[in-house]
Structure 1
Amino acid sequence: MRYKTLIILMLLSGLWSCKKESGTKIMYLAHGLPQTHPVHKGILKFQEALHKKSGGKLAVKIFPDGQLGSEREVLELLQIGSVAITKVSAATLSNFVPEYNVLGIPYLFRDKAHQFSVLEGEIGKSILKKGSKFWLRGLCYYDAGSRSFYTKDKAIRTPEDLKGLKIRVMNNQMAINMVNALGGSATPLAYGELYTAIQQGVVDGAENNPPSFVSSNHYEISKYYTLDQHSSVPDVLIMGTKYWDKLTDEEKQWVEAAAAESSEAQKQYWNESVAESMQKAKDRGVEIIIPDKSLFAEQSKSVLEAFEKEYPELADLVHQIKAQ
């Protein structure tokens, strides 16, 4: 119902993906993150770079904080051409493009350098383009860090410590399979309900990156944060093809160049945010646990095996990434 209401409001207000003012094409970009988030800062860099590279011919108007709806709702707005650009998790895009599923495989990447070597190389660029048949064209990847476990009452030091614990996960099959493989009980739950769910014991914990752990205030009620770094699912800046196809070749080059510049800047913003978030968590008394990640990697191998059985056509892509 909210989605229909948004469309009606947008029609009434004249808000569309692009309009022209004084010779400038203005693109609308919506996302659900707060303005303090490093991804929003990366988007501001995109806005600045695009204005500069286009000589003011292309401009971006940003709607943060979920002003135009949830991640899924904004994706739908891109598909029909009501919004030009958004930021979503690769996990969300996997519902449209199976290749994005690969990026969520536990311990797929050896480290951050390996991850972005893959994402910014031919493999990553190829995946970005595969969403076009669903009217969603990827522009670049943003660093969303590595997801790790945090719990309210029981510390997780080895996979065995997850047994019997209800762990909130995104409504994504890869995430569900991973937590279950490690011995926990995966519990999909809306992110907005998670603070109360942890506080009241509906779930025992969750998993996310440090900036999200702190910005959500979950560090206020979770005593333990285990940096097992089980998955490194990037965010993706995407443009609806209904808008992309209207751009000239020169305009497309400006957009891609601005996206690449914003991606580089966003990595630095992310690193700064991680350091700040970890310090806040420590100051709050959260115990930061550095486990033996090889134990978690070994225990989660069955997730990759199940994935390759379900998507045999993507097994070669996994091997290419691991070999790079």
Structure 2
Amino acid sequence: MMQIKNKIALLLLVSLCLLSCKKEDTVKTLYLGHTLPQTHPVHKGILEFKKALEKKSNGTLRIKIFPDGQLGSEREVLELLQIGSVAITKVSAATLSNFVSEYHILGIPYLFRDKQHQFDVLEGPIGKSILEKGSKFWLRGLCYYDAGSRSFYTSKKAIRTPEDLKGLKIRVMNNQMAINMVNAMGGSATPLSYGELYTAIQQGVVDGAENNPPSFVSSNHYEISKYYTLDQHSAVPDVLLIGTKFWNTLSDEEKVWVQAAADESSQAQKKFWNDSVEESMKIAKEAGVEVIIPDKSLFAEKSKSVIEAFVKEFPEMETTVNKIQNK
């Protein structure tokens, strides 16, 4: 199925290229694919990237955006970047960790003390170093986008302490870090397709899940999950990437434009995200969702074993983890 989708995507891109070719050899079109809807705050950040780049380049670098998974899943679009068929994409750092192991660090529970600490790290030397690590896998990181903090939501029982997770089946991404975290806190981690989750909660296949407020609301999970516990156990960012095969075709000046436009869009996207969180929480509360503010230190204490297991598996990353925690 993946090969079929890739072939369709490639044929689409070739057709678009032939249709959009201009006599001016100076004009380059960068194809950007992602899986999010056009109402999403990250998509709005990408629109800022497009606007900034086209302005900086005086129209010589143009971006054609394919949202809503038109070019495939996050993993499939990453593979298209690696072979040079697509120039840019946005993916979760969790997905990217399957290609570049250093991104696993950003999924560690309670790695960041708060939002300020998170972006001090991401926009500083440590974050930039992680972005560069992907170049050896043909995936050069440009910047990070805010994807909020993930928290637990449940349908029948409120989670106020880690003990309340006992006996509950919690849907998680098919990611070992997330699985280990929920199990360490006392729940039963249940990997499940996101598209199946609404029905799974409704029918009692799982008792709840974990995600950020905009996703909680846009998925309509707030309709069937009336308890939302803001334990904020992880803050995995999104990453804007450019394939090195395309990057290497750019002049030094064009590379400066691309990076500067990405940095500007990252700052703009933070506001879009904050606005979306406020609106989402308002919708959830008005729908009767009980929002619980727990003692996060109780959850952090339970998840320490996850960090210990991580540095044991990736000892070469222990220094970076310690630098982040002590920053």
Q: Which TM-score band (shorter chain)?
A: over 0.9
Give the C-alpha shift of residue 6 in structure 1. Answer: 3.3
Mapped partners of 2:74, 2:15: distance in 1: 18
Give, as a single letter, the amino acid of the residue that structure 1 aligns with 2:79: E
Name the counterpart of 1:167.
Answer: 170
Report the equivalent of 1:4.
4
Deviations 1:9-52 (A, max 9, x none): 53366157897534421111000001110000000000000001
In the alignment, does 2:205 pair up with 1:237? no
Secondary structure of 2:151's partner? Answer: strand
Structure 1 runs not aligned, ≥5 long? none
The match for 1:259 is 262
Is residue 2:123 matched to residue 1:127?
Answer: no
| 1:307 matches 2:310 | yes
1:196 positional shift: 0.9
**Which has the higher mean CA deviation after the structures are superposed, 19-28 or 212-221?**
19-28
Distance 1:12 1:258 in 2: 26
Q: Select the residue among 93, 96, 100 that pairs with 1:93.
A: 96
Q: Quick one: structure 1 residues 238 and 13, their matched pair in 2 at CA, closer, same or farther if it must change by over 3 Å?
A: closer
Is contact 1:17–1:28 with CA below 8 Å preserved after alignment? no
SS in 2 for 1:95: coil
What is the DSSP-based 3-state SS (H/G/I as helix, E as strand, rest coil) of the residue aligned with 1:103? helix
Query: Does 2:156 match 1:153?
Result: yes
Letter aligned with residue 149 of structure 1: F
Task: Give the C-alpha shift of residue 117 in structure 1.
Answer: 0.4
Structure 1 runs of 4+ aligned residues shifted over 6 Å read 16-19
Distance 1:115 1:205 in 2: 27
* Higher alpha-carbon deviation: 2-11 or 275-284: 2-11
Structure 2 distance, partners of 1:318, 1:136, is 22
Which residue type is aligned with residue 300 of structure 1?
S
- 8 Å CA contact retained: 1:137, 1:240: yes
Aligned CA distance change for structure 1 residues 13 and 250 (closer, same or farther; 3 Å): closer
Change in CA separation of 1:272 and 1:13 when aligned onto 2, cut-off 3 Å: closer
SS state at 2:152 partner? strand
Over 3 Å counting, the alpha-carbon distance change for 1:27 and 1:13 in structure 2 is: closer
What is the aligned counterpart of 2:228 among 225, 245, 259? 225
- The structural deviation recorded for 1:99 is 1.2
Scaled by the length of structure 1, the TM-score of the pair is 0.97
Alignment of 1:270-309 (within 5 A): 270-309=273-312
- Give the superposition deviation at 1:96: 1.5
Contact 1:107 1:231 in 2 (8 A): yes
Q: Which amino acid aligns with 1:141?
A: Y
The unaligned stretches of length 5 or more in structure 2 are: none
Displacement of 1:267 = 0.3
Paired residue total: 324
Query: Structure 2: how far apart are the matches of 1:225 and 1:250?
Result: 47
Contact 2:13 2:85 in 1 (8 A): no
- Match of residue 14 from structure 1: 14
Contact kept? 1:16, 1:81, Cα under 8 Å: no
31, 35, 38: which one aligns with 1:35: 38
Matching residue within 53, 56, 59 for 1:56: 59
On the 8 A contact 2:5/2:72 being kept in 1, the answer is: no
**Root mean square deviation, CA, Å:** 1.4
Whole-angstrom distance in 2 between the partners of 1:9 and 1:315: 40
Alignment TM-score, normalising by the size of structure 2: 0.96
Q: Percent identity?
A: 77
